[in-house]
Amino acid sequence: MIIQPKVRGFICTTAHPVGCEAHVKEQIAYVKSQGKVDGPKRVLVIGSSTGYGLASRIVSTFSSGASTIGVFFEKAAGGVRTASAGWYNTAAFEKFAKAEGYYASSLNGDAFSDALKEQTIARIKEDLGQVDMVVYSLASPRRMHPKTGELHSSVLKPIGKSYTNKTVDVNSGEVTSVTLEPATQDEIDNTVAVMGGEDWAMWIDALTDAGVLADGAVTVAYSYIGPKVTHAVYREGTIGAAKDDLEATAHRIHEQLATKGGRAYVSVNKALVTQASAAIPVVPLYISLLYRTMKEKGLHEGCIEQIYRLYADRIYAAETAVDEQGRIRIDDWEMPADVQAEVDQLWENVSTANLSEIGDIAGYRTEFMKLFGFGLEGVNYELDVDQNVGIDGIVVEE
């Protein structure tokens, strides 16, 4: 079929298999252009099919020579429906990894469930014995609690009072004002249940109890802080409450792993165009202004550059630099005073009329479409392609 992008709100409902493969190939090429990292050799990536999770899998393999197991929840193609971008990304990653002789295996399902944890542990025992790194990069709007059976749903809301600020319709470029009403305590609790640290801790406990977490293992989860302009909806909002819980969990896991030489970190990453960030009001407008500023200063990074730097300059460097709260900061090029001062000035002046001039809304759109395999150089989007792409070991139910 000939596949074209179909954008609805902040998601694209189609994905292009050849474009996704080209995007993965780009990221692999970047990693290969950098130096090797004396990093992990057997890696489990939970949430491995897009964004930072996918980048972690690529860096682990193509900079450190690691065998990887990826866990995700993605959809295969069916009828005239394309597969999800994460499905195509994973198929491409495995194709390139295996072509160079690297082990790569994947499991598709509910990573919050006990069943998938058990399946993953069985795969580790059978194929790798143990893992020496666990990357936790899940991004989901809902979580079925494996013990209580309760379905928790997250919300993107401020806490304590309503919040009004500028936002942008990425498709039209219209800058408008948005008002978000404060979350109830129940909504806060549910968001923490989905996006906090409980499931990460459950994974580490399950891996430890099963004896498949190697002595000296490292685990990392990803977070974000960002500027004051986004704090009400992010760091001081419901997501921020979940991230606070994630960071508190990191300290507990660190103490647990330290008894056998292990480490646990939260890595605070920069603002990037991802499927998750696109859903947060205010944030896409901030990102478009930030991209313009960081590109002009030669500081811009995407997911793959961020994660390569995380491995090379932080986790597997001679000394892992952390902030006063024990967090790794690879948002260090986003948050300096001069960068933020310029973004603040742009924020004060931005409007529909001047966004394309003072911001990088075009760059935002380009990055957004690349998430789904569109807009990649060298890909002919007028060609008929087979949307049915398989992943070794994953059975697609009819």
| Active site residues per annotation | 234
User: Residue 384: what are its φ and ψ, rounded to 5°?
Assistant: -70, 130
| Alpha-carbon span 23 to 347, nearest angstrom | 31
Separation in Å, CA 237 to CA 77, 141, 167, 243, 288 = 36, 15, 16, 10, 21
Structure token pair of residue 171: 């498709």
Specify whether the CB–CB gap between 375 and 383 falls below 8 A. no
CB-based contacts of 181, cutoff 8 Å, min separation 6? 157, 158, 162
* Alpha helices in the chain, H assignment, sequence order: 17-33, 51-64, 85-99, 114-123, 185-195, 198-209, 228-231, 238-258, 283-296, 303-310, 337-349, 355-358, 361-370
| Alpha-carbon span 89 to 48, nearest angstrom | 9
In three-state secondary structure terms, 95 is helix
